[in-house]
């Protein structure tokens, strides 16, 4: 068999039969989260159907799923855009993240089982490896995996679902932040904090788990403020108590 041409190599892998919508969803989600598809870029169903060599029905299915996750906006004129990263809403986002992060940590400390702790340690180690090897998409994915392992240990699917959506929404911000941290002499990545969280959960220390979760959110906010101050603006404030 002859070697693939360069053009063929760039084509998306063929999805399994009946899995076209999921394949398109997976590819577009990766491109949106990694900022390969920039905020505000239009997504034309006809062009996407040509790119993925399939009908518009699975393309539409994928866009609807992405819209439900807040990653694309489907407008009234039937056009679709990659959702903007709305920095004006960042304080509200961090408020929601802080509350979700704290409750999931508290629940994990109350309800965790030995298998949960083992799983958290594996996910934290995977994040550490991703930080050493680079690649922002892998870093944000393994960061989410760790936090979802914590949420799942809390045994409350409602909080787990809402927390997962918040983490996905924040992954594009993380991509910008990871790039800044890796180039900064003042900041470092957050892996050690994950291990401290696991220790508190394993000890069933609910109050320490809560405090660490709050500090984790506050650290994310403060790092992002430094990033914005170095690159764009500085008038972003977090409505979360910094006195703890």
- pLDDT of res. 7: 37
- pLDDT of res. 234: 45
Instruction: Determine contact, residues 231/180, Cβ cutoff 8 Å.
Output: yes
User: What's the DSSP call for residue 13?
Assistant: P
Distance between CA atoms of 82 and 73, rounded to whole angstroms? 6
Helix, strand or coil, per DSSP, at residue 185: coil
Please name the residue that has the structure tokens 């394949």.
Answer: 23
Instruction: Determine contact, residues 27/137, Cβ cutoff 8 Å.
Output: no
- Element at 136 (helix H, strand E): helix 136-153
User: What's the DSSP call for residue 80?
Assistant: E
Report the C-alpha dihedral over residues 89, 91, 95, 98, rounded to 10 degrees.
110
- pLDDT of res. 184: 60
Query: From first to last of its 244 residues, what are the pLDDT tens digits of the chain?
Result: 444 333 333 444 555 455 689 999 999 999 998 888 999 999 999 999 999 999 999 999 999 999 988 899 999 877 999 998 887 888 999 999 999 999 999 999 999 999 999 999 999 999 999 888 877 888 889 999 999 999 999 999 999 999 998 998 888 888 877 766 666 645 455 558 999 999 999 999 999 999 999 999 998 888 888 877 776 554 444 444 444 4
| Cα separation of the two ends of the chain | 65
Distance between CA atoms of 213 and 164, rounded to whole angstroms? 15
Q: Quick one: angle between helices 206-231 and 157-183, nearest 10?
A: 40
- What the chain holds in terms of domains, given with CATH numbers, is 13-82 (1.10.10.10), 87-231 (1.20.120.530)
Instruction: Say if residue 24 is exposed, middle or buried (CB neighbours under 10 Å; 0-12, 13-18, 19+).
Output: buried
The CA distances from residue 147 to 10, 26, 73, 117, in Å, are: 33, 21, 26, 12
Instruction: Say if residue 66 is exposed, middle or buried (CB neighbours under 10 Å; 0-12, 13-18, 19+).
Output: buried
74 beta partners: 80
């Amino acid at each position: 068999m002859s070697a693939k041409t360069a053009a063929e190599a760039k084509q998306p892998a063929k999805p399994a039969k009946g899995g076209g919508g999921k394949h398109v969803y997976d590819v577009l989600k990766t491109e949106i989260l990694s900022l390969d598809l920039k905020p505000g870029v239009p997504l034309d169903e006809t062009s996407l159907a040509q790119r993925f060599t399939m009908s518009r029905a699975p393309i539409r299915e994928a866009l609807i799923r992405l819209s439900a996750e807040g990653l694309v906006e489907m407008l009234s004129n039937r056009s679709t855009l990659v959702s903007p990263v709305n920095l004006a809403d960042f304080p509200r986002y961090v408020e929601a993240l802080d509350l979700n992060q704290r409750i999931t940590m508290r629940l994990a400390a109350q309800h965790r089982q030995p298998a949960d702790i083992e799983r958290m340690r594996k996910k934290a180690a995977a994040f550490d490896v991703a930080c050493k090897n680079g690649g922002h998409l892998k870093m944000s994915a393994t960061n989410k995996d760790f936090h979802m392992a914590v949420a799942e240990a809390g045994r409350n699917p409602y909080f787990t679902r809402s927390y997962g959506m918040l983490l996905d929404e924040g992954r594009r911000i993380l991509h910008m932040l990871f790039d800044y941290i890796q180039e900064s002499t003042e900041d470092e990545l957050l892996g050690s904090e994950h291990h401290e969280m696991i220790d508190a959960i394993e000890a069933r220390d609910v109050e320490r788990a809560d405090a660490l979760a709050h500090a984790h959110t506050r650290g994310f906010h403060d790092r992002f403020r430094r990033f914005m101050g170095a690159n764009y603006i500085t008038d972003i404030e977090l409505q979360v108590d910094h006195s703890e």
